[in-house]
Amino acid sequence: MESSALSRIVVGRVMHRRRLPVENRFVYPVFFILINLEQLEGQRHWLLGINRRRPLAFHFKDYGDGRDPRIWVRERLVESGIDDCNGGLWLQTFPRVFGYLFNPVSFWYCQRSDGTVGAIVAEVNNTFGERHCYVLQPKPGDGSFTAVEAVKRLYVSPFYPVSGGYRFHFNVDFDAPRVRIDYYDQGQLQLNTAIWGRSKPLTDANLLIALLKQPLLTLGVTVRIHWQALRLWLKGVSLSHRTSSSIEEATK
């Protein structure tokens, strides 16, 4: 995707499949936005506000340390020794919906000057208001973002400890983006999660259609997290003690 391309709205689904210690799977419809941050000042939509109140909104304060996220993300790249991502910057995220937001994970696609993606920053949030970022680079050799590994640093689920690690699988195609995250602990696959969909131009008409179909999108994310947690508890899954989050803001 060229850095001059227009932002997108993606209508799709999210899937979780917990494999251990008990099987639990669900799939829900969602929509999310792919924002071209290099064209942020040119974004003008009646339904989507940039740092403004609108039915849907994108606020700097919801990401990173609250500053301009373009500066914040590039600082994370520099800290990780990545110096070739001087091209476009895209964000895949849920927007605020009627002022409410919970984003389990957002993805920052950092492009090189030739338009290829040279790094992806996965910004993970938990329900306790903590966050951690995983700075991901393509695999040596083939340059793909398949099975990129990261050590787990943040307490996310009350049913899993802060141990093990993730394998991220990206289909870096902004027409049909797809991300799958596999969580492993003690050498065993514990959990699969995925989010995918088909993208359309980010227009007020497409935003309105998505909003009318899912007017409680982000509230639904929170409600479903707690509902699925209750289901697991009723199935007898034991709770894992919450530990403090990593003092590091981002890790590779």
**pTM for the full model?**
0.94
- Measured distance CA(131)–CA(117) in Å, rounded: 23
Q: What is the pLDDT along the chain (252 residues), one digit of tens a residue?
A: 555 588 999 999 999 999 988 899 999 999 999 999 988 877 789 999 999 999 999 999 999 999 999 999 999 999 999 999 999 999 999 999 999 999 999 999 999 999 999 999 999 999 999 999 999 998 776 777 888 999 999 999 988 999 999 999 999 899 999 999 999 999 999 999 999 999 999 999 999 999 999 999 999 999 999 999 999 999 888 888 777 655 566 776
Beta strands at 48-50 and 56-58: parallel, antiparallel or unpaired: parallel
- Alpha-carbon distance of 199 to 18, in angstroms, equals 27
Q: What is the pLDDT of residue 39?
A: 87
pLDDT of residue 245: 56
Residues in CB range of 220: below 8 A, 6 or more apart: 28, 214
Structure tokens at 27: 């799939």
In order of 76, 120, 191, 243, 248, the CA distances from 252 in angstroms are: 10, 10, 21, 20, 11
Give the domain ranges of the chain: 8-251
- In the chain, the DSSP E strands lie at 8-18, 24-36, 48-50, 56-58, 89-93, 96-97, 105-111, 117-125, 131-136, 148-151, 165-171, 178-185, 188-201, 250-251
Question: In this predicted structure, what is the pLDDT of residue 139?
Answer: 79
Going by the DSSP 8-state scheme, the letter that residue 95 receives in this structure is: P
Contact 154, 169 (CB under 8 A): no
What is the signed CA dihedral for 2, 138, 123, 182, rounded to 10 degrees? 120
- List residues bridging with 214 in a β-sheet: none
Q: What is the pLDDT of residue 44?
A: 83
Q: Which residue has the tokens 């919970």?
A: 102
Predicted pLDDT of residue 169: 96
Reduced to 3 states (helix: H, G, I; strand: E, B; else coil), residue 92 is strand
Q: What are phi and psi of 38, to 5 degrees?
A: -75, -15
